[in-house]
């Protein structure tokens, strides 16, 4: 590229989707674009200070929802919009493709505003260039789907060339994790278990979790992670084994814990995708109602294992609530605990 062009990437949330866009941002930046990323609270820690961007701009969506309609929120919105327009972007890419990104896309001032034709909730109105659906096939990995925006701009990225980056951890964050893990048996590997997510029917059966914990309890240092609301589930599956750090870490501290782990086990969640982004631990991602071939960690199949209920005719339904009248939530019992233990054994843990 003879002249460095300014590009706005609009991907506000969720944590997993923000992580899936990091390879796109890296591909664009490596091709010579100056990247500004518009992101919400859910992803700001992952984007800010990440080498994949030149600048991160926070849209406080969570705060606005909590506050409700107000003049203060409207003024904050106008202030962010003014900041965007002052950048005089050459290109904007809307990979959120929803109503909450429409307004930013429409008024950001970019000369070229690119969005996929599969955009929802009137988001197509924000674009002036519309590319073909980025989700070509049911089994197309989502990271490669987002990279089709780069393809449209003439940038070819092969799976083996994908670059995933995270912001560096601060000395304070590293010291905190040192403290949290200070009582571990250093002769044993660390296995992190993040059993919860925001969809109830993404959760794997809690008794299956207990069986896996029983297998691991004498072989590894088990670390349980999650949010404050996950403690009841963790107390049940842990049976008093391991260390419960639910609610004790921010996103980058959690990334530091995952980077020190030999293995991370999780359902389809931000935690599973964050573990993949650290590029260090083995990851076993357990899928129930969502498509593992699309959302599973991309890369070495011996290191990154995505497993779920393919034998069920209803899968993947991608529904927050199970629609089955009989055999309800059947996908949450698949795979069996024995199948997960077999994978763990093959990984040498």
Domain boundary among 111, 139, 161: 161
Residues 193 and 293 in one domain: yes
Q: What is the CATH classification number for the domain harbouring 297?
A: 3.40.50.2000
Determine the pLDDT at residue 298: 93
Backbone angles phi, psi at 223, to 5 degrees: -115, 125
Position 2 scores a pLDDT of: 52
Q: What is the pLDDT of residue 99?
A: 93
Judge if 301 and 273 occupy the same domain.
Answer: yes
Three-state SS sequence of 126-177: HCCEEECCCCCCCCCCHHHHHCHHHHHCCCCCCHHHCCCCCCCCCHHHHHHH
pLDDT at 31 (0 to 100): 94
- Tell me whether residue 1 is in a domain: no
Instruction: Mark whether 227 and 292 lie in a shared domain.
Output: yes
Verify that 182 and 124 share a domain, yes or no. no
Q: Which positions of the chain have pLDDT values less than 50?
A: 1
In a domain, 166, yes or no: no
End residue of a domain, out of 124, 140, 161 = 161
Structural contact between residues 54 and 38, judged by C-beta atoms closer than 8 angstroms: no
Residue 30 phi, psi dihedral angles, 5° rounding = -65, -25
* Residue 324 and residue 179 in one domain: yes
| Assigned domain for 306 exists | yes
Residues 148 and 186 in one domain: no
Residue 199 falls inside a structural domain: yes
**Chain centroid to CA 281:** 16
Look at residue 293 and tell me if it is in a domain. yes
DSSP state of 95: S
Q: Which of 161, 184, 208 is the last residue of a domain?
A: 161
CB 101 within 8 A of CB 121: no
Note whether 182 and 67 are same-domain residues: no
Look up the domain containing 43 and give its range: 6-161
| Helix intervals (H) in 181-303 | 206-216, 231-238, 251-259, 270-278, 292-295
Return the closest-CA partner of residue 270 out of 62, 37, 57, 13: 13
Which residue do the tokens 């779920």 mark? 308
d(C-alpha 10, C-alpha 53), whole Å = 12
∠ CA 230-168-34, nearest 5°, is 110
Domain shared by 258 and 180, yes or no: yes
Check the CA dihedral 123-124-125-131 and report its sign.
positive
Same domain, 299 and 197: yes
Same structural domain, 123 and 214? no
Tell me, yes or no, whether 203 and 338 share the same domain.
yes
In a domain, 178, yes or no: yes
Domains contained in the chain, number: 2
Do 271 and 314 lie in a common domain?
yes
pLDDT of residue 10: 97
- Whether 314 maps to a domain, the answer reads yes
């Amino acid at each position: 590229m003879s002249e460095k062009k300014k590009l706005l990437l609009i991907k506000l949330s969720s944590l997993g989707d923000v992580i899936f866009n990091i390879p796109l941002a890296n591909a664009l930046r490596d091709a010579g674009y100056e990247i500004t990323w518009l992101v919400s609270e859910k992803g700001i820690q992952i984007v800010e200070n990440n080498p994949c961007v030149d600048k991160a701009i926070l849209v406080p969506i969570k705060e606005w929802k909590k506050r409700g309609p107000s003049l203060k929120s409207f003024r904050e919105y106008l202030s962010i919009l003014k900041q965007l327009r002052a950048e005089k972007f050459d290109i904007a890419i809307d990979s959120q493709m929803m109503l909450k990104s429409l307004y930013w896309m429409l008024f950001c001032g970019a000369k070229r505003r690119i969005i996929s034709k599969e955009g929802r909730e009137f988001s197509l109105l924000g674009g002036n260039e519309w590319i073909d659906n980025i989700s070509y096939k049911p089994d197309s990995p989502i990271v490669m789907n987002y990279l089709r925006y780069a393809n449209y701009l003439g940038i070819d990225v092969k799976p083996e060339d994908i670059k995933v980056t995270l912001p560096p951890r601060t000395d304070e964050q590293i010291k905190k994790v040192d403290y949290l893990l200070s009582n571990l048996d250093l002769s044993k590997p660390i296995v992190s278990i993040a059993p919860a997510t925001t969809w109830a029917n993404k959760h794997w059966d809690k008794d299956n979790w207990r069986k896996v914990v029983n297998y691991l309890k004498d072989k590894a240092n088990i670390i349980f992670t999650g949010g404050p609301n996950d403690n009841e589930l963790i107390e049940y599956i842990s049976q008093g084994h391991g260390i419960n750090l639910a609610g004790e870490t921010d996103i980058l501290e959690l990334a530091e814990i995952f980077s020190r782990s030999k293995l991370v086990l999780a359902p389809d969640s931000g935690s599973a995708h964050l573990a993949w982004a650290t590029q260090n631990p083995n990851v076993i991602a357990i899928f129930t109602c969502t498509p593992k071939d699309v959302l599973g960690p991309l890369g070495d199949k011996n290191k990154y294992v995505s497993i779920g209920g393919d034998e069920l005719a209803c899968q993947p339904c991608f529904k927050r609530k199970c629609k089955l009248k009989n055999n309800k939530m059947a996908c949450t019992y698949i795979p069996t605990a024995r199948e997960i233990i077999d994978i763990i054994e093959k990984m040498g843990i």
